[in-house]
Structure 1
């Protein structure tokens, strides 16, 4: 139940953040889905999702979020979030570029590598 409340809170925050993030573009929005597994080390820190330079949401281990975004090139980066050691910047905060077509749905997973966290595409269910 606590997990469900956390997912709802992330989606609620994501929706309000998207009103600010989704600027420009024409046509039907694309959907960007991001999932965070809980099976890798260091999953105790929350991971912030920065879309087009703005914090669009925060994922805890095992959570997912979806974003309606304008079609076109979308810049996405990940940041560490939380108190203590989690407040330190991530090893790699490199922005990744994702191209969304009108009405397209893309799904990504946050993965941990030696260089830090990044997004990896996964097939839709």
Structure 2
């Protein structure tokens, strides 16, 4: 009788803990940034800055992902200096882009180019 009462108590406490574990897993959003397409005509490395901190370096055909808390995120893309002359960093700091994440979101963006410079373009998840 004691073992069945203890096992029942343990079993019930396991179910009580499950909702809190699931809730803790949903308190972030996933941001995927890819350079999979050849939309940026340079072989230079591109730096991804989150909140003005270098968070990733991407070459062609690469992607990266971040688990971030919900809310607005400031993103900036910049060519990083490399070994070849065409990969020198520019004088002006590029503009930033604000992306708002909600808990549980999975957002994918790809790096694209316009006359104003590089920017993030929404992309389909495709998985």
Scaled by the length of structure 2, what TM-score is found?
0.70
Residue in 2 aligned with 1:96?
97
Residue in 1 aligned with 2:46?
47
Distance change (3 Å), C-alpha of 1:66 and 1:103:
same
Does the 8 Å CA contact 1:78/1:93 hold for their aligned counterparts? yes
Distance change (3 Å), C-alpha of 1:106 and 1:33:
same
Residue in 2 aligned with 1:66?
65
- Distance (whole Å) between structure 1 residues aligned to residue 40 and residue 49 of structure 2: 22
Give secondary structure in 1 for the equivalent of 2:42: coil
What is the Cα deviation at residue 88 of structure 1?
Answer: 2.1
Q: Is 1:113 the equivalent of 2:114?
A: yes
Q: Between Structure 1 and Structure 2, how many residues are aligned? A: 99
After TM superposition, what 4+ stretches of structure 1 lie above 6 angstroms from structure 2? none
What is the Cα deviation at residue 93 of structure 1?
Answer: 1.2
Does the 8 Å CA contact 1:36/1:60 hold for their aligned counterparts? yes
* TM-align CA RMSD: 1.9
Scaled by the length of structure 1, what TM-score is found?
0.71
What stretches of structure 1 of length at least 5 have no aligned partner? 1-26
1:9-20 matches, cutoff 5 A: none
Larger Rg: 2
Does the 8 Å CA contact 2:78/2:89 hold for their aligned counterparts? no
